[in-house]
Structure 1
């Protein structure tokens, strides 16, 4: 099943009530990005990625030509670059969104984008309860939470049973 990441505009712009601006980015291989790399970048408005791709391909081809690589090898090398473009297209799109101060809200697994939207908004609307701040956004840059942080639901482990033993035998040396 495909994995989608959900992105929302920055808090300085519209608030989270503008759900029509949420973007769902499918992770995985993009066939059209491999076949029509620069056109796919233009279509998705990835301007810096397009400029970087053009500079890279020009320098790559010039470097291989200056090394005296034959045309068939140059063609195969360009196929590898196109394959890498298809593999990294969704990462380029997420990178562009993060540069534009968009934040990642969630990760959703679904067959199609419509199902991912439905699953995300069903789960997201239950969490929001009328709140329009950014308390459920995922912060990928911070350290993982620890058990010693007060106020987090997993800070305190669940209490042990009365006998203190967990398992099939409730007391030491008891009958089976």
Structure 2
């Protein structure tokens, strides 16, 4: 099943009540990014990535041509670059969102984007306690347990068994 990451703009751009601005990015291979790389980048408004891709491809072709590489090898290298674009398309989109001051809210698994949205909003709405208590991110639980803190769960280690030894040997230094 596909994995989606959920991104939301920082509160300065939009508050958490504007859930229609949340973006779901599917992780995995993007076929259209492989086939139509620069057009896919334009469609998804990845301007910096598009400029970097154009500079990289131009420099890559110039370097291969200056080395005297044949057309077949250059075509093969273009196929490799297109495959890399298909594999890294979602990472490039997440990178662009993080540069645009978007934050990662959660990671959701679903058969398609609609199922992922439904699962995310079911889980997210249960954790919202009203508009006054908006979360900056999904609550992942309390701090890790510490020793000797009164009232905190798991602050004391579990008691040792009656013999004091755990394992195959009933006494320290005993015979085998």
Deviations 1:92-130 (A, max 9, x none): 000000000000000001110000000000000001121
In structure 1, C-alpha distance between the alignment counterparts of 2:22 and 2:147, rounded to whole Å: 32
Structure 2 counterpart SS, 1:7: strand
Distance 1:61 1:102 in 2: 34
Aligned residues: 157
Partner of 2:78: 78
The residue number in structure 2 matching 1:141 is: none
Task: Tell me, in whole angstroms, the C-alpha distance in 2 between the residues paired with 1:150 and 1:44.
Answer: 52
Deviation at 1:148, TM superposition (A): 3.3
1:133 equivalenced with 2:131 (yes/no): no
Name the CA distance, whole Å, in 2 between partners of 1:150 and 1:26.
44
Mark the CA change 1:36 to 1:103 in structure 2 (over 3 Å): closer, same or farther.
same
- Give the Å deviation of 1:61: 0.5
1:156 aligns with 2:154: yes
2:8 counterpart of 1:14: no
CA–CA distance in structure 2, aligned partners of residues 53 and 88 of structure 1: 12
Q: 1:26 Cα deviation (Å)?
A: 0.2
Structure 2 unmatched ranges of 5 or more = 162-169, 171-176
Q: Post-superposition shift, 1:147?
A: 3.5
After superposing on structure 2, the runs of 4+ consecutive aligned residues of structure 1 that deviate more than 2 Å are 135-138, 145-151, 154-161
Where in structure 2 are the equivalents of 1:89-168 lying within 5 Å? Answer: 89-130=89-130, 131-136=133-138, 146-148=144-146, 156=154, 160=158, 165=161
Indicate conservation of the 8 Å contact 1:146/1:155, yes or no: no
2:167 corresponding residue in structure 1: none
**1:15, distance to aligned residue in structure 2 (A):** 1.0
SS at match of 1:134: coil
Query: Once superposed, what is the RMSD of the aligned Cα atoms?
Result: 2.6
Aligned to 1:60: 60
Shift in Å, 1:137: 6.6
